[in-house]
Copies of this chain bind each other. A is one copy, B any other.
Amino acid sequence: MEADKNESRGKVGSQALPAGQDKVDSVPHTPCTILESLPKSVKRRVNALKQLQVQCAHIEAKFYEEVHELERKYATLYQPLFDKRRDVVTGTVEPTDEECEWHSDREEEEELSEELKKKACVEEAKEEGAPEEDPKGIPEFWLTIFRSVDMLSDMLQEHDEPILKHLQDIKVKFSEPGQPMSFTLEFHFEPNSYFTNTVLTKVYKMKSEPDQADPFSFEGPEIVDCEGCEINWNKGKDVTVKTIKKKQKHKGRGTVRTITKQVPNDSFFNFFKPIKVSSDGEMDEDSEFTLAADFEIGHFFRERVVPRAVLYFTGEALEDDESFEEEEVEEGEEEDHGEDGDEDDEGEFDPKVSLNLQYLNFKMPYNSIW
Protein backbone atom coordinates (compact mmCIF):
# COMPACT_ATOMS: atom_id res chain seq x y z
CA MET A 1 0.00 0.00 0.00
CA GLU A 2 2.64 2.45 1.08
CA ALA A 3 4.85 1.29 -1.72
CA ASP A 4 2.08 1.83 -4.25
CA LYS A 5 1.60 5.33 -3.03
CA ASN A 6 5.18 6.28 -3.44
CA GLU A 7 5.45 4.55 -6.73
CA SER A 8 2.52 6.50 -8.10
CA ARG A 9 3.86 9.77 -6.86
CA GLY A 10 7.24 9.04 -8.32
CA LYS A 11 5.97 7.65 -11.58
CA VAL A 12 3.91 10.59 -12.59
CA GLY A 13 6.36 13.24 -11.47
CA SER A 14 7.83 13.78 -14.86
CA GLN A 15 4.42 14.12 -16.46
CA ALA A 16 3.29 16.68 -13.94
CA LEU A 17 3.30 19.65 -16.28
CA PRO A 18 0.51 19.69 -18.86
CA ALA A 19 1.90 18.98 -22.28
CA GLY A 20 2.94 22.08 -24.12
CA GLN A 21 3.33 24.22 -21.03
CA ASP A 22 7.05 24.55 -21.67
CA LYS A 23 6.71 25.87 -25.19
CA VAL A 24 4.42 28.78 -24.63
CA ASP A 25 5.19 30.80 -27.69
CA SER A 26 5.35 28.06 -30.27
CA VAL A 27 2.26 27.17 -32.28
CA PRO A 28 0.16 24.76 -30.19
CA HIS A 29 0.61 21.20 -31.36
CA THR A 30 -2.31 19.82 -29.38
CA PRO A 31 -4.01 17.24 -31.57
CA CYS A 32 -7.54 17.92 -32.70
CA THR A 33 -9.91 16.64 -30.07
CA ILE A 34 -13.09 15.01 -31.26
CA LEU A 35 -14.99 18.05 -30.11
CA GLU A 36 -12.94 20.52 -32.11
CA SER A 37 -13.34 18.63 -35.35
CA LEU A 38 -17.12 18.60 -35.09
CA PRO A 39 -19.40 20.86 -37.11
CA LYS A 40 -20.69 23.77 -35.04
CA SER A 41 -24.24 22.43 -34.95
CA VAL A 42 -23.03 19.14 -33.44
CA LYS A 43 -20.71 20.85 -30.96
CA ARG A 44 -23.73 22.84 -29.84
CA ARG A 45 -25.65 19.62 -29.17
CA VAL A 46 -22.72 18.18 -27.24
CA ASN A 47 -22.88 21.24 -25.00
CA ALA A 48 -26.52 20.46 -24.37
CA LEU A 49 -25.48 16.96 -23.22
CA LYS A 50 -22.89 18.53 -20.93
CA GLN A 51 -25.57 20.66 -19.32
CA LEU A 52 -27.60 17.49 -18.74
CA GLN A 53 -24.51 15.89 -17.26
CA VAL A 54 -24.16 18.68 -14.70
CA GLN A 55 -27.76 18.04 -13.68
CA CYS A 56 -26.87 14.37 -13.25
CA ALA A 57 -23.99 15.29 -10.95
CA HIS A 58 -26.38 17.19 -8.68
CA ILE A 59 -28.79 14.25 -8.57
CA GLU A 60 -25.82 12.02 -7.74
CA ALA A 61 -24.91 14.30 -4.82
CA LYS A 62 -28.42 13.80 -3.42
CA PHE A 63 -28.02 10.06 -3.86
CA TYR A 64 -24.87 10.05 -1.74
CA GLU A 65 -26.60 12.13 0.92
CA GLU A 66 -29.26 9.45 1.11
CA VAL A 67 -26.59 6.75 1.32
CA HIS A 68 -25.12 8.67 4.25
CA GLU A 69 -28.56 8.68 5.89
CA LEU A 70 -28.73 4.92 5.33
CA GLU A 71 -25.34 4.56 6.96
CA ARG A 72 -26.59 6.51 9.96
CA LYS A 73 -29.64 4.28 10.14
CA TYR A 74 -27.53 1.12 9.98
CA ALA A 75 -25.05 2.47 12.53
CA THR A 76 -27.84 2.24 15.08
CA LEU A 77 -28.51 -1.36 14.03
CA TYR A 78 -24.85 -2.34 14.44
CA GLN A 79 -24.41 -0.47 17.73
CA PRO A 80 -25.92 -3.12 20.08
CA LEU A 81 -23.53 -5.69 18.56
CA PHE A 82 -20.56 -3.34 18.94
CA ASP A 83 -21.57 -2.61 22.54
CA LYS A 84 -21.70 -6.33 23.21
CA ARG A 85 -18.25 -6.61 21.65
CA ARG A 86 -16.92 -3.91 23.98
CA ASP A 87 -18.43 -5.65 27.00
CA VAL A 88 -16.81 -8.94 26.07
CA VAL A 89 -13.47 -7.25 25.33
CA THR A 90 -13.42 -5.40 28.65
CA GLY A 91 -14.69 -8.39 30.60
CA THR A 92 -17.84 -6.61 31.77
CA VAL A 93 -19.91 -9.44 30.32
CA GLU A 94 -19.05 -13.13 30.14
CA PRO A 95 -20.64 -14.64 27.01
CA THR A 96 -22.73 -17.80 27.41
CA ASP A 97 -21.58 -21.15 26.03
CA GLU A 98 -24.08 -20.83 23.20
CA GLU A 99 -22.72 -17.41 22.28
CA CYS A 100 -19.22 -18.88 22.10
CA GLU A 101 -19.91 -21.81 19.78
CA TRP A 102 -17.70 -21.68 16.75
CA HIS A 103 -16.71 -24.41 14.40
CA SER A 104 -15.27 -23.42 11.07
CA ASP A 105 -14.49 -25.79 8.18
CA ARG A 106 -10.95 -24.80 8.55
CA GLU A 107 -10.73 -25.77 12.19
CA GLU A 108 -12.19 -29.11 11.23
CA GLU A 109 -9.44 -29.66 8.69
CA GLU A 110 -6.82 -28.52 11.10
CA GLU A 111 -8.14 -30.46 14.05
CA LEU A 112 -5.61 -33.26 13.65
CA SER A 113 -2.61 -31.00 13.63
CA GLU A 114 -4.20 -28.74 16.22
CA GLU A 115 -2.80 -30.73 19.10
CA LEU A 116 0.70 -30.54 17.72
CA LYS A 117 0.45 -26.81 17.24
CA LYS A 118 -0.97 -26.32 20.68
CA LYS A 119 1.96 -28.07 22.21
CA ALA A 120 4.38 -25.86 20.36
CA CYS A 121 2.39 -22.80 21.29
CA VAL A 122 2.18 -23.69 24.92
CA GLU A 123 5.91 -24.17 24.97
CA GLU A 124 6.47 -20.83 23.27
CA ALA A 125 4.07 -19.21 25.65
CA LYS A 126 5.86 -20.73 28.60
CA GLU A 127 9.12 -19.29 27.48
CA GLU A 128 7.61 -15.81 27.38
CA GLY A 129 5.91 -16.46 30.69
CA ALA A 130 2.74 -18.51 30.62
CA PRO A 131 -0.52 -16.58 30.14
CA GLU A 132 -2.67 -16.34 33.21
CA GLU A 133 -5.34 -18.97 33.44
CA ASP A 134 -8.25 -16.54 33.19
CA PRO A 135 -7.48 -12.92 32.42
CA LYS A 136 -10.27 -10.33 32.27
CA GLY A 137 -12.05 -10.07 28.91
CA ILE A 138 -9.73 -10.06 25.89
CA PRO A 139 -6.50 -8.36 27.00
CA GLU A 140 -4.74 -6.06 24.52
CA PHE A 141 -7.57 -6.50 22.02
CA TRP A 142 -7.16 -3.11 20.32
CA LEU A 143 -3.40 -2.97 20.82
CA THR A 144 -3.09 -6.30 18.99
CA ILE A 145 -5.03 -4.81 16.08
CA PHE A 146 -2.75 -1.77 16.04
CA ARG A 147 0.22 -4.11 15.92
CA SER A 148 -1.23 -6.28 13.12
CA VAL A 149 -2.46 -3.66 10.65
CA ASP A 150 0.40 -2.14 8.67
CA MET A 151 -1.21 1.25 8.34
CA LEU A 152 -1.52 1.48 12.12
CA SER A 153 1.69 -0.25 13.17
CA ASP A 154 3.54 2.33 11.07
CA MET A 155 2.39 4.96 13.55
CA LEU A 156 2.78 2.84 16.64
CA GLN A 157 5.82 3.46 18.88
CA GLU A 158 6.97 1.34 21.77
CA HIS A 159 5.98 4.03 24.26
CA ASP A 160 2.43 4.04 22.81
CA GLU A 161 1.82 0.40 23.64
CA PRO A 162 1.29 0.61 27.43
CA ILE A 163 -1.16 3.45 26.79
CA LEU A 164 -3.13 1.57 24.13
CA LYS A 165 -3.58 -1.32 26.56
CA HIS A 166 -6.15 0.97 28.18
CA LEU A 167 -8.09 1.47 24.93
CA GLN A 168 -11.48 -0.16 25.45
CA ASP A 169 -13.44 0.72 22.36
CA ILE A 170 -13.38 2.66 19.10
CA LYS A 171 -16.67 4.05 17.87
CA VAL A 172 -17.75 5.78 14.68
CA LYS A 173 -20.40 8.48 15.05
CA PHE A 174 -22.06 10.00 12.02
CA SER A 175 -23.19 13.62 11.82
CA GLU A 176 -26.85 14.33 12.51
CA PRO A 177 -29.18 14.94 9.56
CA GLY A 178 -29.20 18.60 8.56
CA GLN A 179 -25.65 19.04 9.89
CA PRO A 180 -22.65 19.25 7.54
CA MET A 181 -21.65 15.70 6.62
CA SER A 182 -18.94 14.26 8.88
CA PHE A 183 -17.97 11.29 10.99
CA THR A 184 -16.19 11.15 14.33
CA LEU A 185 -13.85 8.46 15.57
CA GLU A 186 -14.11 8.08 19.34
CA PHE A 187 -11.33 6.29 21.18
CA HIS A 188 -12.64 5.24 24.60
CA PHE A 189 -10.03 4.68 27.33
CA GLU A 190 -10.35 3.25 30.82
CA PRO A 191 -8.96 5.47 33.57
CA ASN A 192 -5.18 5.45 33.27
CA SER A 193 -2.08 7.19 34.51
CA TYR A 194 -1.25 8.86 31.18
CA PHE A 195 -4.03 11.35 30.56
CA THR A 196 -7.29 12.44 32.13
CA ASN A 197 -9.45 12.20 28.98
CA THR A 198 -11.78 9.23 28.83
CA VAL A 199 -12.47 9.76 25.12
CA LEU A 200 -10.11 11.02 22.43
CA THR A 201 -11.84 12.17 19.27
CA LYS A 202 -11.04 12.85 15.66
CA VAL A 203 -13.64 14.40 13.38
CA TYR A 204 -13.51 13.93 9.61
CA LYS A 205 -15.49 16.50 7.67
CA MET A 206 -16.92 15.53 4.32
CA LYS A 207 -18.23 17.28 1.27
CA SER A 208 -20.82 15.74 -0.99
CA GLU A 209 -21.60 18.23 -3.71
CA PRO A 210 -20.19 18.83 -7.17
CA ASP A 211 -17.60 21.56 -7.42
CA GLN A 212 -19.08 24.49 -9.31
CA ALA A 213 -15.93 25.00 -11.33
CA ASP A 214 -15.51 21.31 -12.10
CA PRO A 215 -18.82 19.49 -11.67
CA PHE A 216 -17.73 16.45 -13.68
CA SER A 217 -15.04 15.49 -11.20
CA PHE A 218 -17.72 14.67 -8.63
CA GLU A 219 -17.53 11.04 -7.54
CA GLY A 220 -19.34 11.09 -4.23
CA PRO A 221 -18.45 12.25 -0.73
CA GLU A 222 -14.91 13.28 -0.02
CA ILE A 223 -13.08 13.79 3.25
CA VAL A 224 -11.96 17.40 3.08
CA ASP A 225 -10.86 18.29 6.59
CA CYS A 226 -10.23 16.80 10.01
CA GLU A 227 -10.00 17.94 13.60
CA GLY A 228 -8.29 16.19 16.49
CA CYS A 229 -8.61 16.94 20.19
CA GLU A 230 -6.48 18.09 23.06
CA ILE A 231 -5.04 15.33 25.21
CA ASN A 232 -4.72 16.29 28.87
CA TRP A 233 -1.49 14.46 29.62
CA ASN A 234 -0.49 13.90 33.20
CA LYS A 235 2.80 15.49 34.17
CA GLY A 236 5.72 13.85 32.41
CA LYS A 237 3.49 11.39 30.56
CA ASP A 238 3.13 13.12 27.19
CA VAL A 239 4.69 10.71 24.70
CA THR A 240 4.26 13.13 21.80
CA VAL A 241 7.15 15.23 23.05
CA LYS A 242 10.55 14.27 24.29
CA THR A 243 12.96 16.22 26.40
CA ILE A 244 16.44 16.56 25.05
CA LYS A 245 19.44 17.97 26.88
CA LYS A 246 21.63 20.48 25.14
CA LYS A 247 24.95 21.85 26.29
CA GLN A 248 25.40 25.60 25.87
CA LYS A 249 28.77 27.31 26.12
CA HIS A 250 28.82 30.92 27.32
CA LYS A 251 30.68 32.91 24.67
CA GLY A 252 32.36 35.33 27.00
CA ARG A 253 32.95 33.32 30.12
CA GLY A 254 33.50 29.95 28.47
CA THR A 255 31.26 28.22 31.05
CA VAL A 256 29.11 25.31 29.93
CA ARG A 257 25.52 24.83 31.07
CA THR A 258 23.03 22.12 30.22
CA ILE A 259 19.55 23.16 29.15
CA THR A 260 16.58 20.92 28.44
CA LYS A 261 14.33 21.42 25.47
CA GLN A 262 11.08 19.74 24.45
CA VAL A 263 10.90 18.51 20.87
CA PRO A 264 8.16 16.58 18.99
CA ASN A 265 8.32 12.82 19.35
CA ASP A 266 6.93 10.11 17.06
CA SER A 267 3.75 8.64 18.50
CA PHE A 268 0.37 7.33 17.43
CA PHE A 269 -1.09 10.05 19.65
CA ASN A 270 0.05 12.69 17.17
CA PHE A 271 -3.03 11.45 15.29
CA PHE A 272 -5.03 13.80 17.54
CA LYS A 273 -2.86 16.86 16.92
CA PRO A 274 -4.25 19.45 14.56
CA ILE A 275 -3.27 19.29 10.92
CA LYS A 276 -5.34 22.00 9.37
CA VAL A 277 -6.26 22.05 5.73
CA SER A 278 -5.15 25.44 4.67
CA SER A 279 -7.36 27.43 2.36
CA ASP A 280 -4.87 30.23 1.81
CA GLY A 281 -2.14 28.27 0.07
CA GLU A 282 0.20 28.09 3.05
CA MET A 283 0.29 24.31 3.21
CA ASP A 284 3.59 22.78 2.19
CA GLU A 285 3.88 19.46 0.41
CA ASP A 286 4.84 17.59 3.57
CA SER A 287 1.70 18.68 5.36
CA GLU A 288 -0.24 17.89 2.24
CA PHE A 289 1.07 14.35 2.21
CA THR A 290 0.55 13.93 5.96
CA LEU A 291 -3.00 15.11 5.56
CA ALA A 292 -3.71 12.75 2.69
CA ALA A 293 -2.32 9.83 4.70
CA ASP A 294 -4.37 10.92 7.70
CA PHE A 295 -7.59 10.93 5.66
CA GLU A 296 -6.80 7.45 4.51
CA ILE A 297 -6.24 6.25 8.06
CA GLY A 298 -9.46 7.86 9.26
CA HIS A 299 -11.35 6.18 6.48
CA PHE A 300 -9.69 2.86 7.24
CA PHE A 301 -10.76 3.04 10.89
CA ARG A 302 -14.31 3.85 9.86
CA GLU A 303 -14.67 1.38 7.03
CA ARG A 304 -12.58 -1.59 8.11
CA VAL A 305 -11.15 -1.60 11.63
CA VAL A 306 -14.22 -0.58 13.62
CA PRO A 307 -16.79 -2.66 11.72
CA ARG A 308 -14.71 -5.84 11.74
CA ALA A 309 -12.27 -5.46 14.61
CA VAL A 310 -12.30 -9.13 15.65
CA LEU A 311 -11.15 -10.17 12.18
CA TYR A 312 -8.13 -7.88 12.44
CA PHE A 313 -7.48 -9.27 15.91
CA THR A 314 -7.47 -12.87 14.68
CA GLY A 315 -5.72 -11.94 11.45
CA GLU A 316 -8.56 -13.17 9.23
CA ALA A 317 -9.17 -9.73 7.73
CA LEU A 318 -5.46 -9.34 7.01
CA GLU A 319 -5.42 -12.64 5.15
CA ASP A 320 -8.47 -11.54 3.20
CA ASP A 321 -6.89 -8.23 2.30
CA GLU A 322 -3.75 -9.88 1.06
CA SER A 323 -4.93 -13.08 -0.56
CA PHE A 324 -7.73 -11.72 -2.67
CA GLU A 325 -5.68 -11.51 -5.83
CA GLU A 326 -4.55 -15.05 -5.40
CA GLU A 327 -7.96 -16.64 -5.30
CA GLU A 328 -8.57 -16.59 -9.02
CA VAL A 329 -5.15 -17.71 -9.92
CA GLU A 330 -4.94 -20.74 -7.71
CA GLU A 331 -6.97 -22.83 -10.10
CA GLY A 332 -5.66 -21.25 -13.27
CA GLU A 333 -1.97 -21.55 -12.60
CA GLU A 334 -2.31 -25.07 -11.42
CA GLU A 335 -4.26 -26.15 -14.45
CA ASP A 336 -1.61 -24.63 -16.61
CA HIS A 337 0.81 -27.34 -15.70
CA GLY A 338 -1.48 -30.25 -16.45
CA GLU A 339 -3.80 -29.29 -19.25
CA ASP A 340 -6.14 -32.20 -18.76
CA GLY A 341 -6.37 -31.70 -15.03
CA ASP A 342 -9.99 -30.58 -15.18
CA GLU A 343 -11.34 -33.98 -14.28
CA ASP A 344 -9.29 -34.26 -11.15
CA ASP A 345 -10.51 -30.95 -9.88
CA GLU A 346 -14.12 -31.85 -10.22
CA GLY A 347 -16.15 -31.59 -7.07
CA GLU A 348 -13.40 -29.67 -5.38
CA PHE A 349 -13.66 -26.82 -7.85
CA ASP A 350 -15.28 -23.79 -6.37
CA PRO A 351 -16.06 -21.23 -9.06
CA LYS A 352 -14.63 -18.05 -7.64
CA VAL A 353 -15.63 -15.86 -10.53
CA SER A 354 -17.71 -13.09 -9.15
CA LEU A 355 -17.21 -9.39 -9.28
CA ASN A 356 -17.65 -7.51 -6.07
CA LEU A 357 -19.31 -4.24 -6.92
CA GLN A 358 -17.84 -2.41 -4.00
CA TYR A 359 -14.41 -2.86 -5.46
CA LEU A 360 -15.28 -1.02 -8.57
CA ASN A 361 -17.38 1.81 -7.35
CA PHE A 362 -14.81 4.42 -8.37
CA LYS A 363 -12.69 5.59 -11.23
CA MET A 364 -11.43 2.46 -12.84
CA PRO A 365 -7.73 2.84 -13.55
CA TYR A 366 -6.78 3.13 -9.90
CA ASN A 367 -8.41 -0.07 -8.97
CA SER A 368 -7.86 -3.36 -10.56
CA ILE A 369 -8.99 -6.43 -8.79
CA TRP A 370 -7.32 -8.97 -10.98
The stretch of A31-39, A157-165, A237-245, A254-262 that contacts the partner chain: A31-39
Is residue A134 contacting chain B, with contact meaning CB distance below 8 A? yes
Give chain B nearest CB distance to A363 CB in angstroms. 5
Interface residue tally of chain A, by bracket?
A: 35 or more
Residues of B within 8 A of A367 (CB): 359, 362, 366-367
Residues of B within 8 A of A101 (CB): 47, 51
- The contact string, 1 if C-beta is below 8 Å from chain B, for chain A 7-48, is 011011101110000000001101011111111011011111
Cβ–Cβ contact B223 & A354, under 8 A: yes
Give chain A interface residues in 137-170, CB to chain B under 8 Å. 137-139, 144, 148, 151
Residues of B within 8 A of A298 (CB): 355
The stretch of A171-179, A194-202, A265-273, A305-313 that contacts the partner chain: A305-313
Residues of B within 8 A of A279 (CB): 351
**Distance, CA A281 to CA B353, complexed state (A):** 12
A139 touches which of B11, B42, B220 (Cβ 8 Å): B42
Cβ–Cβ contact A329 & B32, under 8 A: no
Is residue A365 contacting chain B, with contact meaning CB distance below 8 A? yes
Query: Taking the full assembly, how many copies of this chain does it contain?
Result: 2
Is residue A233 contacting chain B, with contact meaning CB distance below 8 A? no
Cβ–Cβ contact A219 & B356, under 8 A: yes
Is residue A111 contacting chain B, with contact meaning CB distance below 8 A? no
Is residue A229 contacting chain B, with contact meaning CB distance below 8 A? no
Give chain B nearest CB distance to A23 CB in angstroms. 12
Cβ–Cβ contact B77 & A59, under 8 A: yes
Residues of B within 8 A of A37 (CB): 121, 124-125, 131
A78-B59 in contact given A39-B131, A131-B39, A303-B361 (Cβ < 8 Å):
yes
Residues of B within 8 A of A46 (CB): 138, 310, 313-314
Is residue A284 contacting chain B, with contact meaning CB distance below 8 A? yes
A278 touches which of B78, B317, B351, B363 (Cβ 8 Å): B351
Cβ–Cβ contact A8 & B353, under 8 A: no
**Distance, CA A113 to CA B42, complexed state (A):** 21
Cβ–Cβ contact B342 & A292, under 8 A: no
Cβ–Cβ contact A307 & B56, under 8 A: yes
CB closest chain-B residue, reference A53: B310
Cβ–Cβ contact A39 & B99, under 8 A: no
**Distance, CA A213 to CA B108, complexed state (A):** 13
**Distance, CA A217 to CA B311, complexed state (A):** 10
Cβ–Cβ contact B78 & A56, under 8 A: yes
Give chain B nearest CB distance to A355 CB in angstroms. 4
Cβ–Cβ contact B100 & A81, under 8 A: no
Cβ–Cβ contact B102 & A281, under 8 A: no
Is residue A357 contacting chain B, with contact meaning CB distance below 8 A? yes
Cβ–Cβ contact A288 & B359, under 8 A: no
Cβ–Cβ contact B356 & A281, under 8 A: no
User: A27-B116, A39-B133, A324-B365 provided; 8 other pairs, C-beta below 8 A?
Assistant: A9-B325, A28-B113, A30-B117, A36-B121, A42-B138, A49-B88, A52-B310, A223-B355
Task: List 11 A–B pairs whose Cβ atoms lie within 8 Å, in order of A's numbering.
Answer: A4-B370, A9-B332, A39-B134, A49-B89, A51-B99, A56-B307, A63-B71, A70-B70, A283-B353, A288-B331, A362-B367
